[in-house]
Amino acid sequence: MKRGLTIAAALLLAACNQQEAAPPPPQAAAKGGPPPPPPYQMRPEAATGSRLAASDGQRAYEVHCGYCHLTGGMGTNLLTKQRMMAGEPPENGLLTNRTDLTADYVRQVVRMGKNAMPQQTRVDITDAELDAVALYLGKAK
Amino acid sequence: MKLVTPPRVSPQAFDTAMQAFAGVVGKDWVMASDADRAAYADTYAPGPQEQWPSGAAVAPASVEEVQAIVRLANEHKTPLWPVARGKNLGYGTSAPRMAGSVVLDLGRMNRILELDPTLAYCVVEPGVGYFDLYEAIQRDKLPLWLSVPGNAWGSVMGNALEHGIGYTSYGLHARNLCGVEAVLPDGDLVRTGMGAMKDNPAWHLFPMGYGPTWDLAFTQSNFGVVTKAGVWLQPAPETSLELVFDIPEADDIGWVIDTIAPLKISGLIDQNVFIPSWLGKMVLKGQRKDFWDKPSAIPEWRVAELLKEHKLGYWQVALRLYGEEPVVKARADVIKAAMARNLKAAPVENWWRTGDPINAYETTMGVPSAVPLQMSDWIGGRGAHMGFSPVVPATGKAVLEQMKLSRKIIDSFDVDFYASFTIGGRFANNVNMLMFDRDQPQQIETMKKLFNALIDETAKAGFGEYRTHLGWMDRVMDTFDFNDHAFRRFNEKVKDAIDPNGIIAPGKQGVWPSAYRDQAKEGRV
């Protein structure tokens, strides 16, 4: 747990470390230094069909939630810290690794916002896209 | 959020207008439920979001649809509040200045119409976000870099129209705009600059045009709805060097400005140089309560301890140079010699060369990220921020004067002092971040009083803000007082001439059309 928190702190430190243009050698993290900041993670291109029809949950998630919820995103960083404080592994900072989310909960957080996350409009993510994302992330029944 | 209609519009008449809008965009893109109104509320509102309620939102997909909506809005007297992607966090998000206005959400108009690597510019619609443009450039492997704001979740055009700032050589975003297309308040369509001539290929290249130059008149403005804009981009440099100087004391900002500003004005430094105070680094290291567990401002002795513990200077100058390696080296030598006059420690140097990886947080290399919004976690709970942002001359004297003034006021309210200065040329943008928890009414009351005091006292000292939140748009406009507020009177004259029904963004930046001037007292904090 203590070690977990140290890693979380390092991750967050990495978030503000603008000095490392090139990743340091891999052993740096093992020695307790901060891990290298992650590379930019590209989102897929948005689907071309109607945004009002049923869509591919994974793609909709990456396109519309990817600003913050892919590796190194603001949401991922904050959730990594939050999950680790709850005694869970840091990987659970990524919503795709969570098994405790229900589809309804996902819908609610997206539309209502939560803590640092602002609420999303139906232009940000349509109801059809949100349904697909909720099914994709909502692994709990 | 329950329905609030625009002044003198009954709920029935409002509903009729929404049905007319639906005839243009389809019923799915007229968003008029309580949940929709809540979604378009100011997410960081100081106090209840109901202070700036929209009546509904409508999302057109084309210029023609925007024109049709604007014409219908005139007919039904339902004013519109245009937003590009609606992410103006800290300044009102997508909420309107006047209650009941219909948010004209341009997020669906998100095409990149041109992306020219030779002349280094793009033409974008309002809904194109920084992430979208960045990824389009990466996909085509084009030698172009963006300039991104701290929070890059929003629209490229929207940020430029709001006078947003970034931290590269192209950091004055409004200045990158070249040639816009706008729907006027009567539904007519105009193109500025060389674009006023049909199919002129220099539309997005020559910044002036023929006759009066209107591009910037559409920024922070309610004179029209911008539907396309040319935006200049930075050619990818061959190399880049970051020089990181830790500056020990608060008062050192004076000589730092006097050292860097002349180099920026002479052109030796291209970049918009961002100088955040220590708190800018701390907010990413944890939560406030981890470092100071009392509601009172962090006292100076504790600040000194924290700087020591975390090996931080009071300020950090992370200056970046761009270009061919010998040129960058020569420039760096001049800067290092200039800084060495006051600072013993040599800077940390980070070289980047074409082909090296660039990580996801390199704001000064134009990589978009929303990670700076993590600062809302500093306060905890539903954290939010507002920025008090005066512009000061880029001299040590003026900057110190402004810093001491705002610091004294902020201290007197027992609030943490978190300042940054960005040297954009002959001026510096001073942003004082005020962070609060949206669920602590007492804290919000303090912030509101503090904000008022900052605006008033700073104006007395002769400085004005470059941008502000909805609740203070009028108060800040009031500070621009030359010749009995001639500037506001002129803007309102233009507004009334081109928008007799006052249909586009009434009250934006304190400019009210006569149709709604009676509403100007509402929604002030």
Question: Do the Cβ atoms of B310 and B285 come closer than 8 Å?
Answer: yes
How far is A128 from chain B, CA to nearest CA, in Å? 11
Q: Which residue, of B57, B79, B105, is where some domain finishes?
A: B105
Q: Are residues B452 and B501 in the same domain?
A: no
CATH of the domain at B226: 3.30.465.10
Mark whether B442 and B309 lie in a shared domain. Answer: yes
Least CB–CB distance from B138: residue in A42, A118, A119 = A42
- B151 and B168, same domain (yes or no): yes
pLDDT in the model for residue A9:
39
Q: Are residues B312 and B446 in the same domain?
A: yes
Let me know: does B288 contact B380? Beta carbons within 8 Å. Answer: yes
Do B169 and B129 have their domain in common? yes
Nearest CA in chain A to B111: A46
To the nearest 10 degrees (0 to 180), the angle between helices A103-112 and A127-137 is 130
Whether the CB of B135 is below 8 Å from some CB of chain A: the reply is: yes
What is the ipTM for the molecules in this complex? Answer: 0.94
Asked whether the predicted pLDDT for residue B262 surpasses 90, the reply is yes
B258: pLDDT confidence band, cut at 50, 70 and 90? Answer: very high
B93 touches chain A (CB under 8 A): yes
Give domain status of residue B275, yes or no: yes
Which ranges in chain A are annotated with CATH 1.10.760.10? 44-137
Of A37, A115, A121, the CB nearest to B361: A37
* B348, B357, B374 member nearest A74 (Cβ): B374
Query: Do B89 and A22 make contact, defined as CB atoms within 8 angstroms?
Result: no
What are the pLDDT digits (tens) for B154-209? 999 999 999 999 999 999 999 999 999 999 999 999 999 999 999 999 999 999 99
Does residue B168 share a domain with residue B154?
yes
Look at residues B90, B105, B120 and tell me which one is the last residue of a structural domain: B105
pTM: 0.93
Q: Which superfamily, per CATH, for A44-137?
A: Cytochrome c-like domain (1.10.760.10)
Q: Does B330 contact A at CB distance below 8 Å?
A: no
CA distance B325 to chain A (A): 16
Catalytic site residue from B91, B134, B418, B516: B91
Task: For residues B274 and B383, state if they share a domain.
Answer: yes
The domain that holds B481 is classified in CATH as 1.10.45.10
Q: What residues 274-303 of chain B have any CB closer than 8 A to a CB of chain A? A: 281, 284-286
Rounded to a whole number of angstroms, the distance from the CA of B80 to the nearest CA of chain A is: 17
**Residue A11: helix, strand or coil by DSSP?**
helix
A49 in contact with B at a CB cutoff of 8 Å?
A: no
Q: Which of B43, B350, B360 sits opposite A113 (nearest CB)?
A: B43
Same domain? For B274 and B320 the reply is: yes
The domain spanning residue B48 has which CATH number? 3.30.43.10
Which chain A residues have a beta carbon less than 8 Å from that of B83?
A: none
The DSSP annotation for B290-318 comes to HH--SSSPPPHHHHHHHHHHTT--SEEEE
Q: Are residues B67 and B211 in the same domain?
A: no
The CA distance from B130 to B24, in Å, is 28
If asked whether residues B147 and B74 sit together in one domain, one would say no
Instruction: Report the SS3 class of residue B45.
Output: coil
Tell me, yes or no, if B353 is annotated catalytic: no
Instruction: Please report whether residue B5 resides in a domain.
Output: no
Q: In the prediction, which pLDDT does A33 show? A: 52
Query: Does residue B406 form part of some domain?
Result: yes
- The angle formed by the CA atoms of residues B217, B221 and B223, to the nearest 5 degrees, is 75
Counted domains in chain B: 4
- pLDDT exceeds cutoff 50 at A27: no
Q: Which of B467, B487, B502 is the last residue of a domain?
A: B467
Across the strands, what pairs with B228? B181
Using pLDDT thresholds of 50, 70 and 90, give the confidence band for residue A15. Answer: very low
Average of per-residue pLDDT across B215-225: 97
pLDDT of residue B377: 83
B207 and B283 in a single domain? The answer is no
> What is the extent of the structural domain holding B169?
112-235
Residues of B in contact with A78 (CB under 8 A): 374, 377
Residue B493 has pLDDT above 80, yes or no: yes
Res B323 pLDDT > 90: yes
Residue of A nearest to B243 (CA): A19
Whose structure tokens read 């149709």? B515
The answer on B370 and B250 residing in a single domain is: yes
Chain A residues close to B89, C-beta within 8 Å: 118
